[in-house]
Structure 1
Amino acid sequence: MDRVLAADIGGTNLRLALIDENGNFIDESRVEARLSRHDQQTREAAENYVLDTLSEAITPFLDQHPVSDIGIGFPGFFRGTTGILAGSPNLPLLEDFELGKRLSERLKIRVAVQNDALCAAIGEQRFGAGRGHENLLHITLGTGVGGGLILNNVSYTGERGMAMEFGHLRVVHKQTHRCGCGNYGCLEAYASATAVARRFAERSGIDTDARQVYEYACDGNKDAALILKETGIYLGLAIAEAVKLLDIETITISGGLSHAWHLIHPPLMAELNDNLIPPLRGKINVIHSTLDDKAGLLGAAHIASRR
């Protein structure tokens, strides 16, 4: 691929990068973009808010680095490669939104857009810990929990663009915390960075963020250590269900919360093996991303180059 602009849209930040055909990062930028916290009351207002936010963040970077294509990883369900956002659990007013087309018109540039976790899966399989594997399940642990699936070297989106919404697998079978999708018991409500901060506050009375919870755990705080252990357990349970369905042996995990790997991974693997059928126990590899937080950007660059 030639140089392309890649964007990774998270619940809190928007990251941009100019990337060349070998996956090298030429320039990067990060801006705050709290899309999921907008207070718009109508669909039209919500759509314009998203378009305005993305345009205002991307345009200055494009002015510095003119390119003909941009690839974007965005949190939501997309209808194949059409660029149409079918829906987004944390942006409920956006349904059947022609995000790719409308943003292309705003920026006057070709835009390819896909689910952010699927972009991360593509990046991880092409450049990271999933390299060399034809089949890969990739999980992102950030503000939310996402999942992307590669089968036989092809990204799988499902019939309606909603495959591998890993964060919405049910791991708790009682009505406690409601997820952004409207259901109870979703993995995202228990194992995302947002959930870790909330659960720690409920247990300790201390309001903070997931990064600080990790630091507390490293300093010996028992409440913080327990929350991260439980996070690993919830992840192991969800991965076991996915593996029983897909019979896939390589899982990679990225995202800010994965920095607590040494605290999350041991309970994750124990719970995973406890919940697998016997022939699969001990045969599943759950690997920390080697791309740190760059998997999504690399995947976004790839979908842009494929246009």
Structure 2
Amino acid sequence: MSGQWIVGVDLGGTTTKLAFINMDGEILHKWEIPTDNSNEGQNITINIANAIDDKLGECNERKTKLAGIGMGAPGPINYETGVVLNVVNLGWQDNFPLQESLHSLTGLPVAIENDANCAALGEMWNGAGKGASDLVCVTLGTGVGGGVIANGNIVRGINGAAGEIGHITSIPFGGAPCNCGKSGCLETIASATGIVRLAESELSKPESKGQLAVVFAKNGKVTAKDVFDNARNGDELAKKILNEVTFHLGFALANIANTLNPEMIVLGGGVSRAGDILLDGVKANFSQFTFSAARESTKLSLATLGNDAGVIGAAWLIKNKLNL
């Protein structure tokens, strides 16, 4: 068994990441394919199965080299059955039997989990949270996702929707609408999309000035990276936006720490690449709102696996399921 590989799959709305991973959580081969969500998403698992076969051929390996497939997918998932309960951007109908579909096409054991949970498992197995069995992972990307690990196990909740940190209410009244149907969610503030929305709201004011305003005037838009870069250079408007983001993120994470008392909270996703300017502000607010026992025991850090966290965590799923 030790010489076998695991297939890790991280299914996204536009791109699917795949990797062959060894039993130590190390990536041996990784590649990407487009996610074809046409025809009610019927091509997605077919394309994944074909991509695995093609890569095995390139590596001159037989399918017996593979122990199984672990896969992260967006949305709430029934882990026991591998059914995706509902997802908005892949074309699937509600209650899509993802595990069964992929198993029937490949003949391999398959384990399915929410993609943010997989990122958390990846960071626990071989990333920033290595060695920690109580861990919260927050992914700050286009949206805000979360994975909660307690005593080494993913906390899924009654229907697989636990860890939806992005939908903690941050602005109870008058907040921006969220894709989930609520308003004022953390996702509307701390995601890349939310940061841009905050910036454009500030920049639309006639009195806005400074370097970020110059970027906006020149390009007609700004990015989350523009906000962080200009805040780092002392731009007052960019710093104001950053302070709002880190306040709400630190406040939400403090309440999570007060509830769960994890050993670590790991920040990942594209927004986390801002680095210390984000982390330092979050830590300051986190410290202010955290109960003393949790404040002293919970460490905040940046994820280390980047875009590889999802495939590594997905591989851990099958290793754990099969007791490899």
TM-score normalized by the length of structure 1 = 0.85
- Point out where structure 1 has 5 or more consecutive residues left out of the alignment: none
Aligned to 1:244: 258
- Higher mean Cα deviation, 51-60 or 259-268? 51-60
The answer to whether the aligner puts 1:179 opposite 2:178 as a matched pair is: yes
Runs ≥4 in structure 1, deviation > 6 angstroms?
A: 89-93
Instruction: Tell me what 2:24 maps to.
Output: 22
What letter is aligned with 1:95? Answer: D
Partner of 1:195: 194
* Superposed CA RMSD: 2.6
Deviates more, 1:256-265 or 1:88-97: 88-97
User: Aligned letter for 1:232?
Assistant: T
- Distance in 2 (alpha carbons) for counterparts of 1:177 and 1:224: 20
Q: Name which of 286, 300, 308 aligns with 1:286.
A: 300
Structure whose CA Rg is larger: 2
SS at match of 2:307: coil
Q: Residues 89 and 180 of structure 1 are in contact (CA less than 8 Å); yes or no, is this contact kept in structure 2?
A: no
**Post-superposition CA distance 1:226-251 (Å, at most 9, x none):** 33332222211111111121122411
Secondary structure of the equivalent of 1:87? coil
| Distance (Å, rounded) in 2 between the aligned partners of 1:61 and 1:295 | 19
Alpha-carbon offset, residue 118 of structure 1: 0.9
Q: How many angstroms does 1:15 deviate by?
A: 1.5
Q: Which residue of 2 aligns with 1:56?
A: 47
Letter in 2 for 1:23: G
Residues 102, 301 of structure 1: alpha-carbon distance in 2 compared, 3 angstrom cutoff: same
Aligned to 2:285: 271
SS of the aligned residue for 1:26 comes to: strand
Deviations along 1:222-281, whole A, 9 cap, x unmatched? 444433332222211111111121122411121111001212112211211222234434
* TM norm structure 2: 0.81
User: 2:245 matched to which residue of 1?
Assistant: 231
Distance (Å, rounded) in 2 between the aligned partners of 1:165 and 1:246: 14
Secondary structure of 2:178 counterpart: coil
Contact 1:225–1:263 under 8 Å retained in 2: no
- C-alpha contact (below 8 Å) 2:36/2:44 kept by paired residues: no
| Alignment gaps of 5+ in structure 2 | 57-62, 204-215
Matches within 5 A, 1:1-307: 2-33=4-35, 48-49=40-41, 51-56=42-47, 59-65=50-56, 66=63, 67=66, 69-88=68-87, 94-107=93-106, 109-204=108-203, 206-218=220-232, 221-305=235-319, 306-307=321-322
Please give the secondary structure, in 2, of the residue aligned with 1:16.
Answer: strand
Q: Deviations over 1:133-157 (max 9, x none)?
A: 2211111111211111111122221
Task: Give aligned pairs, total.
Answer: 296
Structure 1 residue 210, shift from structure 2 partner: 3.0
